[in-house]
Structure 1
Amino acid sequence: MALVVAAAVLAAAAIQTGLLRGSHLPIGGVELTHAALLLSLIAAGRLFPIPLAYRRRMVTDTAPLFAAALLLEPWLAALVSLLAVSSAETICGLRTQFYRKQVAFNTSQAMLGVIAASAVFSWTAGQSLNQSDARVMLSVGCSALAMLAVSDLLVFSVVWAQLGLRFSKMLPDFVRGRSDIPYDIALYGAGFVAALIGAAHPWLLILLVVPLPTLYRAMSNQRALHEQTRDAVIALADTVDDRDPYTFGHCKRVAEFSERICNQMGLAPDVISEVVLAARVHDVGKIGIRDAVLLKPGRLTDEEFAHIKEHPDIGARLTARFPDFAKGTRYIRHHHEKWDGTGYPSGLKAKEIPLGARIIAVADTYDAMTSTRVYRAGLGDEVTRLEMARVAGQQLDPEVVRAWFVAQGWTWPAAGEQAPDDRVAA
């Protein structure tokens, strides 16, 4: 909350300073045209995000926000971003659930980013795009970096404060998780082009608005096809779970547990999306396992167990055909690997195992231990806590197990606490 207040105060101070200085006041028709059109583009970009991957959408207001930073006086750019983002965020909040803190933070984040970019551009290029020398191009690049840095710094600070993780651990994970940088580059480039168009012919900015509904609809239709395919694969995984009454809802629960672990570890949204989607269908390969083996109530023979161990590879081959699942295929293939290298199918150990697979393994183990099976009743939380701590560093990644303990509100067992001799389900 303190960060939100600080951001809002700084943004308001920037506007106040600009107004008191009277920079280029009163503003003329060109500035008003720029401000009105950019306000509309910013609000539209925030209200109508473009669907991307599973449960992810790309907000495109970065482009008009950056254009505002290049075209308008810093105080006017901040004011436009305030009106556009706060209005759009409020409307979005009314659609779902209204969070005042979220509206305040997102608005302040946009304003501070715009102010930073506008200030850098004003200092280095004199607030003019009517030049074509290298200095202007360098200034535009520095302005984009300033806006991106402010935005990322605010997000990182909030996540770091909420999760309470070590700075040295979270920073590399945050940087690695910024796989959407290509999108950022494209949006900043589009903002620069829009600013060039606006500087030469202000009313031509309207041409940027006209194709947006068609583009949005086309991309939404394409995403709908992906979602239908994704839902079909998820339905297939649920069918596998439904074959055995003792595993009903297993994949869904593992996905929920995996998401909690990812959030606790402070992973980036796109990484969380990959892990959760892979967890949701991690056992889909069991569609290729014979019922006589999959549903056998007694002990499996060596031949039958070898057949069961085929399901991660089957699932990986099946999901690799679909773009939405492609990045998570390695998590599906390796979710039965063990930290000490005794797992299957590849015998990977420690950090040779993909992080997503290690997360799914912890979630899978917890659900297997606490669920009732044909050969035993589900274990209670206390027994599960002790047993998961015991196998951490053997079967499971100890760091991921500790993240799950924190998410569960569990304490790590003290020396001398012993788990009952219950075998962890495969």
Structure 2
Amino acid sequence: MLSRIDLRESAPTARELLDIVPRADVDVSHALTIVEPMLADVRERGEAALREFGEKFDGVNPEHLRVPNERIEAALENQDAAVIDALREAITRVRAFHEATVPPPVEMEVAPGAKLSQRWIPVGRVGLYVPGGLAVYPSSVVMNVVAAQAAGVESIAVTTPPQKAFDGEPHPTILAACALLGIDEVYAAGGAQSIGMLAYGVDGLCDPVDVITGPGNVYVAAAKRAVNGVVGIDSEAGPTEIAIIADDSADAHFVAADLLSQAEHDPMAGSVLITDSEELADKVEQALYGLVDATPHIARTKEALTGRQSAIILTGNIDQSVQVADAYGAEHLEIHTRDAEAVAARIRSAGAIFVGPYSPVPLGDYMAGSNHVLPTGGTARFASGLGAHSFLKAVSTINYTADALAEIGHKVVALANAEDLPAHGQAIQARLDK
């Protein structure tokens, strides 16, 4: 089922590994040519364009693009009690972790009278995209909203595709999650057009935001690329992916179940096993056959597992497994090895690391407390997942006395002259002369 890449008799360089590891074939550039005219149309015609695109792509024209508050509250009242209990627990854990990760302000005196400080200021308004294609993601509501709230953001708008099955409203479970979090600004708009609404604003409907976050399909990713600079974005999220480093001590059934858990998301989802044990690889593949045949989403799961983005990579030892994992830069990386904590500590590139057999990725998807909006497509080599920091700006304050400036003023003048910026030096000299 899974293709195999055998590295046991080779020693590829870090650069060569970037070409060897499996990847989904995602062409954001092509999608960009499709979404740019859509974004321009939304900017020009506002609500009329939103409605036309919604009818074209979602098959429905909602009565209200902004969901009435009473409908949000009704969704909470009518939701299954077990789901509400689970959402409350997820909110509690995610909020505790994200509030703890807000960076503290810094104040210091680098010399007598030379005071510096840095504080983290939340952006004023954010737009949070919650996907609604092949599955329903109230968990994404939790991850986006709680991170923004932990940062101190005061104005939060959530947008998510309208559902034909619910008369053009978002899925009621998504609305219920919004209600639990105190979010009353929810839009029944999805796709690239909703990114345009958030970035540019729509008169009489939605004010523009400062930052847009949240995963979506390739067109949402392309739209976020197009508006980046007009607003801030978290990332261009691609198809979900999991990599698992395992040795012969791993439970093959656990590993197979976890590979399957990501494959059911999307036909382009990536499931990658990195192991120095061919025997384990055989056991995992055998276990997968039984699990796939029993899954309700067999078609897209099989397509994901047999696609070019999924594979078993056989390595010569655990050192090479770590090297491969760093080259892959997985959105989710599980460690199923002896001394898993020590192996995890060696990893440089991963969106989130799940240590040991009882920390599977679905735990992080819902209520471990960490965020499940993570870098994909190898961008974990240089990017971080969503967090409170995604909605914060670091602002420095400089406060020097006359004596503190006098102590180093001549040095500033020397550097300004060296850069042929004499007016810079003159601005300092004027104060020194006085």
Q: TM-score range by the shorter chain?
A: under 0.3
> Greater relative contact order (Cα 8 A, min sep 6): structure 1 or 2?
2
Greater C-alpha Rg: 1
Flag the structure with higher strand content: 2
Flag the structure with higher helix content: 1
- Normalised by the length of structure 2, the TM-score is 0.27
